[in-house]
Amino acid sequence: EYSADTEKVKGSSFTAFFRWLADDWLMKIGAFLILIAFGWFVTYAFAQNWIGPIGRITIGIIIGLVILLIGQWRIKEYREQGAVLLSLGAGGILITIFAARMIYGFFTPITSLIFMFAVVVYLGLSSVRYKSKALATLALALGFVIPMLTDIPHLDFVELFLYLLVVSGGVIWVAGITGWRTLISLSLIGMFFYSFYAF
């Protein structure tokens, strides 16, 4: 029997997440395993000294960009598949930049933050354009995780919270356009955890 309570349960984020996970679940598991393999391969290549440091980082970013572009192409006709590929490509780029920063010190915390944030902005814009709430949620989560991947102790408090202000502003903009109010709640939770770091 249909009721308002049933509608409320159906519309909950928890249920929506599992519905999203159930759709094309094999592809999502495959993408997750490829991401793990990508991270392992990058680490192993670094340890074995197969390619020079600049070559390793360049190859990692190029592979991530290629997957990102394939995802951009696929999302036009197959939203779920495209979103998974966009997530995979973005994850590959972030892992590569993280490795470049932490292992070789190629980037300063600020430059790595800017590069990673550019990837997150791209995901956020794609989520709005193709109406993918899952992609928007991932972009938000990555937006709050990025400072931890850029050696956060070396970020100034002012720089960190200016960055978080920009992320929160982006979340409000996306929520205003799409009506996905859950993103604002998740953003507040992220700010709450970072407030512990400040004090």
pLDDT digits (tens, 9 = 90+) for 47-103: 666 667 777 788 788 888 888 888 888 888 877 778 888 888 888 888 888 888 887
**Residue 198 pLDDT:** 60
- Compute φ and ψ for 61, nearest 5 degrees: -70, -40
Q: How far apart are CA 83 and CA 76, in angstroms?
A: 10
Q: How far apart are CA 46 and CA 102, in angstroms?
A: 12
**Residue 2 pLDDT:** 36
Dig out the tokens for 45 from the structure.
């290549």
């300063």: which residue's tokens?
Answer: 108
- pLDDT of 8 higher than 60: no
Collapsing DSSP states into helix, strand and coil, what is residue 49?
Answer: coil
Which has the minimum average pLDDT: 13-17, 46-50, 65-69, 147-151? 13-17
Q: How far apart are CA 71 and CA 176, in angstroms?
A: 25
Give me the DSSP letters along 74-95. HTTT-HHHHHHHHHHHHHHHHH
Q: How far apart are CA 101 and CA 81, in angstroms?
A: 30
